[in-house]
Amino acid sequence: MTSPTPHIAIIGTGIIGISTAYYLAKSFGQSKITLIDRDQPMAFTSAQSGENYRNWWPHPAMVAFTNRSIDLLEEIARQSRNRINMNRRGYALATRDSTIDALVSQLHDGLGSSADSLLRYHTGATANSYAPFDKPDWEGVPDGVDILQNQSLIRERFPSYDPEIQSIIHIRRAGDISGQQLGMHMLDYLKEAGAKRVVGEVKSIDTGDGFRIALATASGTEVLEADQIVNAAGPFADKIAEMLGVALPVYHTFQQKVAFEDRAGAIPRALPFSIDLDGQKIDWSPEERDMLLEDPDFAWLAQDMPGAIHCRPDGGDNGKWIKLGWAYNDTPAAATWDQQLDENFPDIVLRGASRLQPALKAYYGQLPRNMHHYGGWYTMTEENWPLIGTMGPEGAFMNCALSGFGTMAACAAGELCAATISGDELPDYAPCFSLARYEDADLMAALQAANKGVL
């Protein structure tokens, strides 16, 4: 293990940069840490998080990675008296298809040899025991996956869903947390550990004997020197990498969400994070559909749309808000500091979500004025796996490309990056998330054939 004395500069104070600093300090006693960002911590991409977590992935490396992250989240929840508002109501994946062999195969791919013991089937006239999800507790909730194809059970437990739903896959080690409180918990620890923050925008990085980072600050240009550097710059990670002569294999898409007060009580407060897996045509009136089809810029809204639209209660059992999201944008774009919001998105996502949750139709044309419409950049690799490890010059590291799963994976990502920097023993999944994976032809072929699974 290397000495904890080098000065480490971490570029980016989203949850990934903060988590990297947290585990450097907590696990390896590192105190000479400087966090760099142009704004306040958690103010950009991390502020737009859906704040969900799950261990559902179609590959065992990602399952192990997110299981480790959830372990660490649970540890923080225990230590902080659940400051992070962790619950474990799960992810409910709903489909109108009764033949779900492909989905079950994906679950087997991710869970590997554990699948047989972790998959529970509830079918036929009488269903096996199905553990409830009406309490917000995250401790004592079963692991694994409940597969529901018993229609009476589905109607009883998910009465708000479209009655045509035939199958539900309920991922049980899943739920939501407060990403902002997770970040504040870590920042409080870092302050006590002696870490520092600098507000400034990185303009250039010179290498040689360490790193010289030129920053544009409120008082002019300043130069910060560091022995090691971590690129945790989120949607600008590729720009930081270019300053070090590295081309990262990433691209960016802008995804949007809405949150609003559910005054009509359309969504049960105890509902799991609900995902409609089925593609659809948005619920426009015939007149609206004809108008859309006549306009080349909007005709796509009247045509087939992808699945994976999602909805969940927000604010806990006593709250009244709900969140809706639909990551249908797959067009790469250059990341900017300004939000690229589409004024039509709230109506689009509302009408799409109403297919699974018909009671949402009560809000057609009358979304609350205090609705919050927001968005953030998904920075990802083609295979939608993160990049964590060494990068370019000696002493340079990366922790980036965490797409739409940054909050849920932050703890494991921060721990892995900190261990790499400190020369500690690494978990078995570490090579899968480094640039070394691109030299593994078999792995890359398997990943390119798999579903991206961005939710």
Alpha-carbon gap, residue 16 to 380, rounded angstroms: 14
Q: What local confidence, expressed as pLDDT, does residue 394 receive?
A: 96
Asked whether the beta carbons of 413 and 402 are under 8 A apart, the reply is yes
Q: What is the pLDDT of residue 126?
A: 55
What's the mean pLDDT in 195-223? Answer: 95
pLDDT digits (tens, 9 = 90+) for 304-326: 999 999 999 998 888 999 999 99
Domains of the chain with bracketed CATH: 8-51+179-249+382-449 (3.50.50.60), 91-175+252-380 (3.30.9.10)
In three-state secondary structure terms, 433 is: helix
Residue 298 has a pLDDT of 93
Question: What is the residue-averaged pLDDT of the chain?
Answer: 93
List b or e across 277-286, with b for residues whose CB sees 16 or more CB atoms inside 10 angstroms.
bbebebbbee
d(CA 138, CA 198): 36
221 pLDDT more than 90 = yes
pLDDT for 43: 82
3-class DSSP state for residue 135?
coil
**Alpha-helix runs per DSSP H in 268-403:** 286-294, 345-353
> Are 110 and 447 a contacting pair, CB within 8 Å?
no
pLDDT digits (tens, 9 = 90+) for 393-452: 999 999 999 999 999 999 999 999 999 999 999 999 999 999 999 999 999 988 877 654
- The proportion of the chain whose per-residue pLDDT surpasses 90, expressed as a percent, equals 86
Q: Which residue spans within 200-271 are E strands per DSSP? A: 201-208, 210-217, 220-226, 228-231, 251-261
The DSSP 8-state label assigned to residue 128 in this structure reads: P
Distance separating alpha carbons of residues 277 and 225, to the nearest angstrom: 49
Fill in the amino acid letter for 447: L
Report whether pLDDT(100) > 60: yes
pTM score? 0.95
Please answer whether residues 348 and 282 qualify as being in contact, where contact means their C-beta atoms are separated by less than 8 angstroms: yes
